[in-house]
Amino acid sequence: MSTFQRLSNLDAVPASLRGAYIAIGNFDGFHRGHQMVLSALKARADAAGVPAMVLTFEPHPRDVFAPAPFMFRLTEGDSKARLAEAFGVDAVTILKFDRDFSQIEAEDFVARFLIDALGVTGVIVGSDFHFGRQRRGTPAFLKAAGDANGFAVETLDLMDEGDEVISSSRIRAALSEGAVSAANRLLGYHWFFDGCVVKGDQRGRELGYPTANTMTHASFQLAQGVYAVRAKVAGRLLDGVAAFGKPMFNNQRPPFETHLFDFDEDIYGQTISVALIGHIRGQEVFSGLDELITAMDRDSRKARELISTARPIGALDSKLGFIG
């Protein structure tokens, strides 16, 4: 296949995707463990001469059953689709997950989606994958269903690094501590997120550091501090320094504030994608604005230094285009 396809349901699957080999999972973060699954997916699909598809779900099931969204999401639907395309699979299907969906019996999930809608050639999942009402669909259940219905099923163990497996929760914990390098290493690319640029309090402009501000969710648990960043906006790739948290001002639900070097254009209402290159420092309270500006000057120099030495972590990182 030459054109990446993104589906939001499986009601009318294009003929070109029938018989696909698929990988199923939440894939929050699209980290190196997920990439191991997708490398196997591509190899099996290529050997069988069929498309390779990712089947995933939005929102995350844990958020559906919580009183309010609470999970620090690494990659939501648009980001997962971007990562899947960059990784080189042929298609991604992002199914809406809600309480009704959660009540689909495991047998019905297999019959409705895997057999009737997709006519899958094979399925690959991680060893921690479960599906269907009350999570009855285990990897063993899926293997038995595949044997009975003529499609292959492969279960892959989780990937280890150090004394722990690579997991989305481990990466969330790293980002919540400001450990950007560790998080990026586990991801296999520089972590990024998207946001719409909104008007802030204009204080940065008054200090000589105008910022592109994006609002954050209550569940956005990145450590408050200052970061070296690369941003994509208006079709351009720009270097910058960003701050999350406003300890000297109103620090309730602060925006993520990105100062783009050598850039001063009106981009309100546009989408900005921000990749974290490195952590510079935690948030500090200064004695006055002069001391704050001095710190901002120092942060900018450090950000430029970190960005100048940044290199792609791997092929996926290169294809995402934040790091040349």
Local structure of 16: helix, strand or coil: helix
Report the relative pairing of strands 164-165 and 225-233 from DSSP bridges: unpaired
Please report, for residues 156, 175, 210, 220, 259, the alpha-carbon distance to residue 182 in angstroms, rounded to integers and kept in the order given. Answer: 24, 8, 30, 18, 24
Specify the residue for token string 């699954």.
37
Phi, psi of 85 (to 5 degrees): -65, -45
Nearest-5° angle of CA 313, CA 223, CA 306? 40
- Distance separating alpha carbons of residues 229 and 243, to the nearest angstrom: 10
Phi, psi of 119 (to 5 degrees): 55, 50
Please report, for residues 3, 4, 52, the alpha-carbon distance to residue 13 in angstroms, rounded to integers and kept in the order given. Answer: 15, 14, 14
- What is the per-residue DSSP string for 136-147? -B-HHHHHHHHH
- What is the per-residue DSSP string for 131-177? BSGGG-B-HHHHHHHHHHHT-EEEEEPPPEETTEE--HHHHHHHHHT
- Distance separating alpha carbons of residues 14 and 254, to the nearest angstrom: 44
- Distance separating alpha carbons of residues 192 and 274, to the nearest angstrom: 5
**Active-site residue flag, 257:** yes
Q: HSE of 91 in the Cβ direction (CA atoms, 13 Å)?
A: 27
Spot the catalytic one: 76, 164, 257, 265.
Answer: 257
Query: Taking Cα atoms as reference points, which of 217, 37, 46 lies closest to residue 127?
Result: 37
Phi, psi of 127 (to 5 degrees): -70, -15
Catalytic amino acids?
257
